[in-house]
Structure 1
Amino acid sequence: MAWHPHITVATVVESAGRFLMVEESKGGRLVLNQPAGHLESDETLKAAAIRETLEETGWTVELTGVVGIYLYTAPSNGVTYQRVCFAAKALHHDASRSLDEGIVAATWLSRDELLAQSSRWRSELIIRCIDDYLAGPSYDLAVVRD
């Protein structure tokens, strides 16, 4: 059997101690995740992160750094994901924009509010990325070569 890791991107967008999160329907339940998704063909990692954030939240963001690169194997299906997590700042929100299929809402939550809802996390990468972001510093965007 061939093994194929999935390359994904995510963004940690923080404003006044709250983090931009998405509520999405996955496996018949509502889960919380950072704006995140798969790298598409002929797309850079940076462009993917900006695109996914806009598609899932309606927010245009500016990337400010790299939080980390994570390897995660989902216990539910055994799929391995390589996640490149970016830090970003929110620039503009388009409230009229339709969100990606499966996304119920975009919401801003504090770290404590996220901890109180740990049973709703899509994966533990959510809090790992936030904690790494808070611990800082982020890596310069130049570390990602297109």
Structure 2
Amino acid sequence: MSWQPHITVATIVEDQGRFLLVEELAAGQAVFNQPAGHLEADESLIEAALRETLEETGWEVELTGVTGIYLYTAPSNGVTYQRVCFAARPLRHHPERPLDEGIIGPRWLSREELAAQPERWRSHLVLRCIDDYLAGESFPLTLIRDHHLPATGAA
């Protein structure tokens, strides 16, 4: 049996005390998550965070730092995810842009509004990442060392 963690990115976007969240369907239930998703082949972590945020919310953002790196095993399926969470500021919204399948839409919520609905969190990391961000956890983007190697290159 082969065990492989899944690499994901998430983005904390704050504007005047409200956070950009994605309302999406997971197992038939409407839940909240940060704009988040899986790293794709030949993509940097930074590119993935920008792409996922745009695809899931219609928002272009500027990444400002790294909030944290989290390891999480989902009780629902036993899959282990490594989440790299970025902080960002909103730049432009494109409300006409079609969103990814399963996305109900972007929602701006305060921490208190989100905390009052734990049954709607995609995982406990949703509030944990916001709390780390609010506690001032921020590392420079240079923490991320993306190096694309040629297909024949050695690691």
State the AA in 2 paired with 1:102: G
Give the equivalent residue in structure 2 for 1:86: 86
Q: Deviation digits for residues 43-78 of structure 1, max 9, x if unmatched?
A: 000000000000000000000000000000000110
2:98 match: 98
Q: Which runs of 5+ in 1 are unaligned?
A: none
Residues 137 and 72 of structure 1: is their aligned pair in 2 closer, same or farther, counting only changes over 3 Å? closer
Alpha-carbon distance between aligned partners in 2 of 1:51 and 1:137, rounded to the nearest angstrom:
23
2:46 pairs with 1:74: no
**TM-score, structure 2 normalization:** 0.93
Count residues with an aligned counterpart.
146
Q: Write the letter of the residue equivalent to 2:46.
A: K
Gaps (5+ residues) in structure 2? 147-155
When the two chains are superposed, the root-mean-square deviation of aligned CA atoms in Å is 0.5
TM-aligned CA deviation for residue 137 of structure 1: 3.7
Using the aligned pairs only, state the percent identity.
Answer: 71
Please list the CA deviations of residues 2-42 of structure 1 after superposition, one character each: whole Å capped at 9, or x if unmatched.
00100000000000000000000110110100000000000
- Name the CA distance, whole Å, in 1 between partners of 2:117 and 2:58: 23
Q: What is residue 55 of structure 1 aligned with on the other side? A: 55
1:86-119 residue CA offsets vs partner (Å, 9 max, x unmatched):
0000000001000000000101000000011110
Distance 2:10 2:122 in 1: 13
Secondary structure class of the residue paired with 2:101: coil
Alignment of 1:1-146 (within 5 A): 1-146=1-146
